[in-house]
Amino acid sequence: MHRTPAEGFCAADIAAQVGATLIGAPDRCVDRVASITSAGARDLAYFSGPRRGVNPKVCSAGIIVCRTQDTSLMPSQATLILVPNPQIAFIDIVAWMWPRQVAYSGIDRSAIIHPTAQLAENVAVGPLVVIGADCHIASGAVIGSGSVLGQNVCIGADTELVARVTVLDDCVIGARCLIAPGVVIGSDGFGLASDHGRWRRVPQLGRVIIGDDVDIGANTTIDRGTLDDTRIADGVKLDNLIQIAHNVEIGA
């Protein structure tokens, strides 16, 4: 899992990262993370509270992140890191141990970028990306390999389009979003009208507006609105393989 220091990560440093109380050997080191049921001596695990079928007493983890009220359930050999919410602390610990890595920096020479597109500093553009006219891409954004942006697309600061993401004309994505591979944003909604027995497409003239801190799972599709916009509010988290129809609003 990513790059780990040769000596591993020591308990004292881990506790300091999350402002935790430490019980046990402060110099105990770990190289990896694992579940409470499979962890070994060089692993860090977390325990959020009693669960049926889980006996932490038999866990072999070197370091366990847990709550103060659960210390009596822990194995004697483990160094304990005491926090109010072990799962949240675990998220922060892993982010410190192995910060998210971007596969490339700068603009790949195979990318096709329209001359009217505006890219801020520190934008990364991967291989075979296409960026259309009048796009605006804010600082720190990552446009992953094979992604396509239509015309007048706006991408917020520190947002990452991981790979093969399609964002069609006039759509807006906020800051700090994570868009997984294969996502399509702004395709036409399924709008049809019957004209004397013949189906005709209804023009889909709205946009897709996505707020800040939104995560969208792989191969999810979000249709543009018919007249008004399809909207995904700040902080929404979407799983893989979701189809969001035109004019849907999700979130506050």
pLDDT of residue 105: 86
- The string of pLDDT tens digits covering residues 226-245 is 999 999 999 999 999 999 99
Given pLDDT bands bounded at 50, 70 and 90, which one contains residue 4?
confident
pLDDT of residue 1: 44
Considering the candidates 2, 136, 196, 246, report the single residue annotated as catalytic.
246
Given pLDDT bands bounded at 50, 70 and 90, which one contains residue 185?
very high
Q: What is the pTM of this model?
A: 0.90
- 196 part of the active site: no
pLDDT of residue 3: 58
**Which domains does the chain possess?**
9-97 (3.40.1390.10), 112-250 (2.160.10.10)
Write the DSSP string, the chain: -----TT-EEHHHHHHHTT-EEES-TT-EESEE--TTT--TTEEEE--S--TT--GGG---SEEEE-GGGGGGS-TTSEEEE-S-HHHHHHHHHHHHSPPPPS--SB-TT-EE-TT-EE-TT-EE-TT-EE-TT-EE-TT-EE-TT-EE-TT-EE-TT-EE-SS-EE-TT-EE-TT-EE-TT-EEEEPP--EEEETTEEEEPP----EEE-SS-EE-TT-EEEPPSSS-EEE-TT-EE-SS-EE-TT-EE--
